[in-house]
Amino acid sequence: MHGLKYFVYGFSIVIVTGCATNVKYEDATKVETTTTDFGSTDLQQIVNKMVDSLLTFPPIVQVTMERRPVMFVNTIKNKTFEHIDTESITDSIRTKIVHSGKFRFIDMTKVAAVEKQFEFQSESGVVNKATAATFGQQMGAEYMLYGNFSSIVKKAEDVRDVYYKFTLNLMHLETGIIEWADEKEIRKTSERRLFGR
Amino acid sequence: MAGINRFMSCRLRRLFFGASVFFVLPIVSCSTTNVFTSYTAKMNLLIDGITTHQFDHSLQVLNKYRKSNDKILYLMERGRIGQIKNDTDSSMKDFETAIAAVRQMEEKAIISASDVGAQTASLFANDNTIPYSGDGYEKIFMYQLQAFNYLAKKNIEGAGVEVRRANSEQELSLKMHEKELARAEEKARDKKSDTQRAYNNLNSAYRGMDDIAGKVKNSFQNAYTFYMSGIVYELLNQPNDAYIDYKKALQIFPDNTYLQRDVIRLAKDLEMNQEYEDYASRFGNRPVNGTVGAGNGKTGELVVFFENGLVPQKKEIQIPIPTPNGIVAIAFPIYYTKWSAAEPLSLSVSAGNRSLGTTEPICYVQALAVKSLKEKVPVMVIRHILRTAAKAAIQLQAKNSAGSLGQIFSSIYNVLSERADVRSWLTLPQDVQIMRIHLPEGAHRLHMTHKASGASADIDVSINQNKTILRVIRIKSELYTTSITF
């Protein structure tokens, strides 16, 4: 009889623990390998490699020694097999560069919003003219960041091989010269398990 | 002692038989509702609903199957119906879920418990217990129609992702098919005499499908997909990629004059001089920019995708297959449809009734579907031979352990359970046609007529200096249109 009782207890414990969802906080920079799809680790690797490479490139070090040139980020073209938010990658790159204190940025995605604000400050009559931002004082960008994100996917019956290549270029707008460029390659494979559900 | 033994083994056998029925029946009954009622009968009700614009009813019914074994199939149908209804959001979500399900299936463990269960159930019941994984040509369409959803949202980069997936699926399908065929042949060698006779019987029954299947080389190469991907690349300003895809499409449909023009135009633009000469001499010196109806002012391009009719449906046929217990009639899926030529859609400007031209075929979906079934014959035959053996074994078991009553029951079960797998994506078109013309910038009211079905409609399109895509879907005598101006 006792045996049965313990069995029932044990069984119900298994059921209870089996049903509870397990939520944990993890380190955001921990290596993530759930699938071969583009993930947080790939994003972090790309951002770190690109920013480190840019800021340690000798001519760039020289240019940024005494002044902080202005740049803007153009879009990264998504040529991969996945719907990837490339703006999220460029956001991270921009944030990291800003934090280095070497460059300053203007944001081309916010031009319309800024224009609207100018209009409000100068024409609505609500804003004190003395504190209104004056039109035509914005700084022109000296450099443009742009790039491509492409991938090659090979699938066989039990293996999936993904190769990502992220290329970033820095163009000097006035001369059109590409002052710096680098690429980050990532290769991931996954194998189907032999047994499973 | 011997008597007791015999008694025990008899009881054991009975117990075993009872247990096996007990285990098999639940698998059969829970796995899917298509096991005993045919998929086509169920879908035809919904398709009738579409033609009378009762989209919401169809969408609601299909929504119930979101989590079923055949979810890939139902979600593809639902995504397509959403698209016909012009409900891009709902369609996008359905295709997204279907794509995820396909991916999950492809990455499932090689020996998967759920697969083994379904395959075993299929041995006792029929092929409908195997979860639907989508034929190659269907998966290609799934990605492509999703690409169209992204175009409708004017997310060209997103459309680019989907057409790349569709194109790589075409390559993969071809590779997988070759491997699968080799494996089936290897298996067939073990049961050579059995399968040979089965093949012969099946092939003579399937001879009627050769007419349609013969129109395509294989079931995977889809020029429509390549063409749409060419358009997407042109919209993305990647003419070189567009050129490659137009060329692939032209290889499959060399007689399509719109394709010929596109290839010649891009060969010239990209300064592929040798290729330009070759194409120009092969197809004659067609006007490089088909400037139909262009005035002196600025013009834009109108690209028409005409998705015509509905793909044929599989029917059931009984074919005698030799088994260890004699000849047994087995239900196989078959297409009885005859080849029907692609009837063009004519476009004209409503004001003044000036003709703009007619569409030309770029994909015979009917042929892809029929060919796909033919390609699966070797694998199907093997599974059927295994199944008849399993069913015969049950019958014998039933007779030995439960007497004649058991035999009667198991015979009835066998007859009832022998159903051909007639599942396929039924809301796909029968064929697809294209047209590409230049029109003056501005708004136009166009008139479309499809002589063969008597369908006609008017649509307002706006043309700017880039491209306008007009997609027309015909089901029976209804035309459903969408236009997207970039």
Average pLDDT of the residues in B59-66: 89
Q: Would an 8 Å CB–CB cutoff place B85 in contact with chain A?
A: no
Residue of A161, A164, A166 whose CA lies nearest to A191: A161
Structural domain total, chain A: 1
Q: Is A67 inside a domain boundary?
A: yes
Selected residue with higher pLDDT from A113 and B406: A113
Is the Cβ–Cβ distance between B268 and B287 less than 8 Å? no
Q: How far apart are CA B472 and CA B302, in angstroms?
A: 13
Confidence label for B426 from pLDDT (cuts 50, 70 and 90): very high
Average pLDDT of the residues in B335-352: 87
Interface test with A, best of B69, B99, B114, B157 (most A CBs within 10 A): B157
3-state SS class at A53: helix
Contact A81 B113 (CB under 8 A): no
3-state SS class at B31: helix
Tell me the chain B residues in contact with residue A79 when contact means C-beta distances shorter than 8 Å: 160, 164
**pLDDT averaged over chain B?**
82
Tell me the chain B residues in contact with residue A85 when contact means C-beta distances shorter than 8 Å: none
pLDDT tens figures, B187-229: 666 665 566 777 777 778 888 888 888 888 888 889 999 999 9
Selected residue with higher pLDDT from B293 and B260: B260
Residue labelled with tokens 């599974």: B383
Q: Which two tokens stand for residue A134?
A: 């004056």
3-state SS class at B456: strand
Q: Is A14 inside a domain boundary?
A: no
A-B interface: how many C-beta pairs under 8 angstroms? 51
Contact A158 B110 (CB under 8 A): yes
Burial B87-96 (b: 16+ CB within 10 A, else e): bbebbbbbbe
Confidence label for B407 from pLDDT (cuts 50, 70 and 90): low
Residue A191 pLDDT more than 70?
yes
Average pLDDT of the residues in B19-34: 44
Contact B106 A82 (CB under 8 A): no
Q: Which two tokens stand for residue B474?
A: 């015909």
Residue of B306, B171, B64 whose CA lies nearest to B77: B64
Kind and range of the H or E run holding B198: helix B192-206
Q: Is A4 inside a domain boundary?
A: no
Q: Is A110 inside a domain boundary?
A: yes
Confidence label for B31 from pLDDT (cuts 50, 70 and 90): very low
Torsion of CA B235, B240, B246, B247, to 10 degrees: 180
- Give ipTM to 2 decimals: 0.73
3-state SS class at B63: helix
Of B104-108, B257-261, B278-282, B452-456, the one with minimum mean pLDDT is B104-108
Q: How far apart are CA B455 and CA B478, in angstroms?
A: 6
pLDDT tens figures, A135-179: 888 889 999 999 999 999 888 778 889 999 999 999 999 999 999
Q: Is A131 inside a domain boundary?
A: no
Q: Is A53 inside a domain boundary?
A: yes
Burial B199-210 (b: 16+ CB within 10 A, else e): bebbeeebebbe
What pTM did the predictor assign?
Answer: 0.82
What's A64's domain CATH number? 3.40.50
Q: Could you list the residue range(s) of the whole structural domain that residue A107 is in?
A: 32-126+138-191
Q: In this structure, which amino acid lies at residue B268?
A: K
Q: Minimal Cα distance from B111: which residue of A?
A: A195
Confidence label for B2 from pLDDT (cuts 50, 70 and 90): very low
Q: How far apart are CA B366 and CA B6, in angstroms?
A: 59
Domains of chain B listed by start with CATH number: 2-485 (1.25.40.10)
pLDDT tens figures, B141-159: 999 999 999 999 999 999 9
Neighbouring-strand partners of residue A165 = A150, A185
**CB < 8 Å from A in window 108-137 of B:** 108-114
Q: Would an 8 Å CB–CB cutoff place B172 in contact with chain A?
A: yes
Q: Is A133 inside a domain boundary?
A: no
Q: Is A88 inside a domain boundary?
A: yes
Q: Which two tokens stand for residue A78?
A: 């998504």
Residue B15 pLDDT more than 70?
no
